[in-house]
Structure 1
Amino acid sequence: MREQESVRTKTGKRKVIITCAVTGSVHTPSMSEYLPVTPAQIAEQAIEAARAGAAVLHLHARHPDDGRPTPDPAVFDRFVPRIAAETDAIINITTGGSAGMTLEERLAYPLKARPELCSLNMGSMNFSFHRAGRGIKEWKHAWEKPHVEGSENLIFRNTFSDIRSVLSSLGDAHGTRFEFECYDVGHLYNLAHFVEEGLVKGPLFLQCVLGILGGLSADPENLHLMRSTADRLFGRENYEFSVLGAGRHQMPLVTMGAIMGGHVRVGLEDSLFLGRGLLATSCSAQVLKIRRILEELSLEIASPAEAREILQTKGAGKVGFDG
């Protein structure tokens, strides 16, 4: 960890990693005309976000015809190699996919791509976003309304056995590191279990996900709770943490997280808005906004090379997609 500290402070300022989550699997085309759904749109928005300052690009795939979430490696292959060729960003592939996918489906592309970084949800949970559909009078595609309203009866599954499988098949076999997504305090204890078992080694990269119905709400007190709990479980010097605020909580919460010593995540997966009532026209617009806020707080943005050193990833030359 001392080496990481030197990287983060060599100019006298702490380095903050900006992650951009480009599209996700929750929002639908009817919610925003700016949501990227085709391979070309996902690639273009990811590339723009990297140029705006995102050192990490968190990627899901969608069916090109109607924007449905898909785990199909052939669809990922239509945009991931292009992003790798045109940016130096760390490419982070989801292992969460969508709650309706099996573990085998969710792992299909990560096992093929062998990326530097993958997201990993640290437990099973109720995962509801049915309220996001309120106010939508006309849906563009038939799948959208049942996808959104049906989430009230949705459980995202990631058992201890599932997590162990992901750690083994990606981490042990291919040297992939993980963005450990923790939606509640119990998820931190789940991660501590795997650390104690010797199945996870540092530096840990924790993503505190607040504001999802089924997890902790996006109250500032809950961010303090997550931070203090992680300190007790892992020791502050043994982990990096980042903050994700869902929906309208995005910018205030990630700014708070940065002030507390963390990294930040923005993107149209997490929020469709740039400000109150103002749709973000692109992921890069959110990246530029948080970058401006961070720089006005005298915080310095990490480059992809600096992010690799902080997170100790294996490097872009050891992945399974062309770039």
Structure 2
Amino acid sequence: MIIGYNKGLKKTMRQVELVAQTDSTALILGETGAGKEIIARHIHMNSARANNSFIRVNCGAIPSDLIDSELFGHEKGSFTGATSLKKGWFERAHGGTLFLDEVGELSLAAQVRLLRVLQEGTLCRVGGEKEINVDVRIVAATHRNLEEAAKNGGFREDLWFRINVFPITLPSLRHRPEDIRELTEYFAQKASVKLGLPLTLPSQSQINYLMQYHWPGNVRELQVIIERAAILGQGSHLAIEESLIIKPELLSSVARSQLTDIVQQEASPISLDDVIRQHITKTLIYCHGRIEGPFGAAKRLDLNPNTLRSKIHKLGITKFNDV
């Protein structure tokens, strides 16, 4: 993906372009799901190592008793179950880039051994005695505050200094809504290829809709929503509104402010029945007239479908189609 230079990422991307031209260690900081791996791959693809391997390791997903074998490899017979020689992630990434995702989740013991490899550029496989040279560019990432963890003893201070050569802070998606269109189109293209469906792109009204959301799950959540929208649309459209039903508490601060303004600007008070009638009518239009089912108005309004039909009849709501 070629990441654009919209306002939300302009400063970050300047840093990314600068560090990509070097061989320095980079540390990407940001919330879970903010797109740290996308940035790490961008650094690799714009570096002198682009033609070699890019290997991602989720440090938080490796059991503590396997971390040495996974990172540094092992010799045949070095422990029960080691039936053959295995190269670790460092050796596999030789000449390329090793992306240590969630590096803050490593145990203190693993941090010691990682620091030695980073400082000396050599390693020994588990059960081996031979020093093996490795030429690897490290890009690390974390959602944790490693500086604070280092002060509290939860992360080695010397390792913190070693990987914090060039820190890059990646803003969360809710702080860069200008990137939603580009990311949505990118994920729509990926979903089209993955699902074998015709490519369909979002409309401007759908982009506006997505920009109202708070995005607690960041870029990762957007990718899931777009893939779901592609499945539901089956190549005819992106069913974004069915894939993401925005609850009031998850509106963005801007959208919430706009809603408050509308309420405050109401010229004169209206009856409770009128308020309910307007709300139900808008919900039915939003749900394309559906009453029942996972994307029906009853589900969105948290009502029994029969109760909703009764209210529709009582309030005289007629301008919708029950499908």
- Give me the TM-score of the superposition, normalised by structure 1: 0.29
The structure with the largest strand share of the pair is 1
> Could you tell me the TM-score, scaled by structure 2's length?
0.29
Instruction: Between the two structures, name the one with larger relative contact order (CA 8 Å, sep ≥ 6).
Output: 1
Higher helix fraction (1 or 2): 2
Higher Cα radius of gyration: 2
